[in-house]
Amino acid sequence: MSNALAGVEPREVWKHFEALAAIPRASTKEAAAREHVQKLAATLGLESFVDPAGNLVVRKPASPGREKAPVTALQGHLDMVCEKNEGTNFNFDTDGIRMVRKEDWLYADGTTLGSDNGIGVASAMAVMESKTIKHGPMEFIFTVEEETTLGGASAFQPGVLKAHYLLNLDNEEKGTLCIGCAGGLNTRARRKVSFVPAKGNAAYRIKVSGLKGGHSGVDIHLGRGNAVRILGGVLQLINEAVAVQLADLKGGSAHNAIPREASAIIVTDAAHETKLREVVAAYAEDVKVDLGAFDAGLEIAVEKAEIPKQVFAHADAAATVDLIASLHHGVLAMSPDVPGLVQDSTNVATVSLKDGVVEIVTSQRSAIEGSKNLAKRLVATSCRLAGFETEHAASYPGWKPEPESDIVRKSKEVYEKMYGSTPKLIAMHAGLETGVLGVHYPQMQMISFGPQIEYPHSPGERVQISSVAEFWKYLTAVLEAL
């Protein structure tokens, strides 16, 4: 075990997590991780197969005396979100995660950790390997492309699985049993821009950084700053105070992450530099006051840059800046039925310029299909008014809560017996593969639980070590009870 994991328990889980952390496994690039899991299955003499989408299914016979128990599936995804702090020297295609332990928490060094969903996958591998857990017939489902499109789960075919119960191991809040989730979709807005020769003797990079970011579903209600929208706001004010031209802009890195960083290149006269810095500094202070303790690390820097040969035509620059400054980001509605649950939201995720086309990606979420479509139209209308063409993609269904199902009742009973208290039943404002798999397996009863994972989808991601031990203890108890 590495120094970061020396002495941690349960070793049967952490050894598999450490091995996974050493394997690059970005979405669409999970082959090595899948082969690693399949090799373990082969070593254990277990049946396994890979479907056309790249999902891996492993089957394990029941423990002696449990042959007539219902088939139970453990499910997790092989891929991870690949985010790093600017300046961190790390290649997600070749490098293994560098883990850092701080008291009861495990982090990565400047990157995402991959505990989402590496802990779930590692725990499933530990169950595959165990000779002491008493369980019924089991299936293990390792999906691909969860973090980008839910592509693996979406491509899963009916009739493949035999499980009556499915335990999804992708929940990130200890002491809770997740019994429902939101559906979602992505909206892409594009505008072909014209370019004109740059006029000015100075260029500057306006850089927004220092924000927490986070998951665009489970963290959307926390009041954190959105770097893309903040960039749009500061560019608007700069343009009102100083004659500038827009040459480039970029921000965010994934459709399902709140953008932490964004930047733009502007061209102007060097005589305006003092005024430019004053406007940016004043705006930064206003935004800091607005964000308060929700996101106290905001920084907006003005850096000198190389003068580009061309810049956006004025109309294209104005339309782009106004749109990213005004697109709604955050909660649209709270659930009237579940206290504290976000029902509808939208995330302004990324902005980029490629081959003369500005592209803005947003993601909409809702537990209600009709509300999801309303959010989609809200965003699309704003984009069309700004002269952008829109398209919607990667739509996936939600998972309707069934609080009276057998799997919920039995899981609650195990928890109450272990801890003497009732677990909190929750629904997540995030996409889980349970909703997608449930389309093809409507009779399958599902539940989701896991250890304490905080700040997923950002370099601040961390997992509480002690909660992994509790999660493992509870998982094995549930398997023995089903």
Which one of the listed residues 18, 30, 116, 146 is annotated catalytic? 146
Local confidence band at 341 (pLDDT 50, 70, 90 cut-offs): confident
Taking CA 129 as the corner, what is the angle to CA 128 and CA 131, rounded to the nearest 5 degrees? 105
Question: In which residue ranges of the chain is CATH 3.40.630.10 found?
Answer: 3-182+398-481
Range 303-310 average pLDDT: 97
- Domain made up of 3-182+398-481: CATH architecture: 3-Layer(aba) Sandwich (3.40)
pLDDT of residue 395: 87
Tell me the CATH class for 185-396: alpha beta
To the query of whether residue 146 is one of the catalytic residues in this protein, the response is yes
**Residue carrying the six token digits 């989408």:** 53
Output the average pLDDT for the chain.
95
On the question of a cis peptide bond just before residue 117, with omega within 30 degrees of 0, the verdict is yes
Alpha helices by DSSP H, listed for 73-222, are 115-129, 151-154
128-138 b/e with 16+ CB inside 10 Å = b? bbbeeeebbbb
The answer to whether residue 470 scores a pLDDT higher than 90 is: yes
The answer to whether residue 402 scores a pLDDT higher than 90 is: no
Distance CA 120, CA 417 (A): 23
pTM: 0.73
pLDDT of residue 122: 98
pLDDT of residue 159: 93
Residue 258 has a CB neighbour count (10 Å cut-off) of 29
Which amino acid is residue 282, in one-letter code? A
pLDDT of residue 238: 97
The answer to whether residue 1 scores a pLDDT higher than 80 is: no
pLDDT of residue 335: 86
The answer to whether residue 107 scores a pLDDT higher than 90 is: yes
Measured CA distances, 58 to 18, 67, 209, 300 (Å): 21, 17, 43, 49
The answer to whether residue 338 scores a pLDDT higher than 80 is: no
Taking CA 108 as the corner, what is the angle to CA 106 and CA 112, rounded to the nearest 5 degrees? 115
Instruction: Specify the 3-state DSSP secondary structure of 160.
Output: coil
pLDDT of residue 2: 82
Range 420-436 average pLDDT: 90
Range 12-19 average pLDDT: 98
On the question of a cis peptide bond just before residue 401, with omega within 30 degrees of 0, the verdict is no
| pLDDT tens by residue, 208-239 | 999 999 989 989 999 999 999 999 999 999 99
Of 359, 365, 341, which Cα lies nearest the Cα of 256? 365
Range 47-60 average pLDDT: 98
Local confidence band at 431 (pLDDT 50, 70, 90 cut-offs): confident
Of 468, 448, 452, which Cα lies nearest the Cα of 17? 468
Contacts of 167 (CB under 8 A, 6+ apart): 72, 73, 74, 75, 446, 447, 448, 449, 475, 478, 479
Question: In which residue ranges of the chain is CATH 3.30.70.360 found?
Answer: 185-396
Range 369-377 average pLDDT: 93
pLDDT of residue 148: 87
Which one of the listed residues 79, 139, 145, 147 is annotated catalytic? 79
DSSP-assigned letter for residue 190: E
Distance CA 152, CA 76 (A): 11
- C-alpha count within 13 angstroms, C-beta hemisphere, residue 176: 16
To the query of whether residue 67 is one of the catalytic residues in this protein, the response is no
The answer to whether residue 337 scores a pLDDT higher than 80 is: no
Q: Are the C-beta atoms of 204 and 302 separated by less than 8 Å?
A: yes
pLDDT of residue 384: 97
Q: Are the C-beta atoms of 183 and 344 separated by less than 8 Å?
A: no
pLDDT of residue 328: 96
Local confidence band at 432 (pLDDT 50, 70, 90 cut-offs): confident
Distance CA 174, CA 207 (A): 37
DSSP-assigned letter for residue 100: E
Residue 421 has a CB neighbour count (10 Å cut-off) of 9
The answer to whether residue 397 scores a pLDDT higher than 90 is: no
Range 170-175 average pLDDT: 94
Instruction: Please state, for a pLDDT cut of 90, what percent of the chain lies above it.
Output: 89
| pLDDT tens by residue, 124-171 | 999 999 999 999 999 999 999 999 888 999 999 999 999 999 999 999
Distance CA 185, CA 366 (A): 9
Q: Are the C-beta atoms of 81 and 455 separated by less than 8 Å?
A: no
Range 12-29 average pLDDT: 98
Bridge partners (DSSP) listed for residue 245? 267
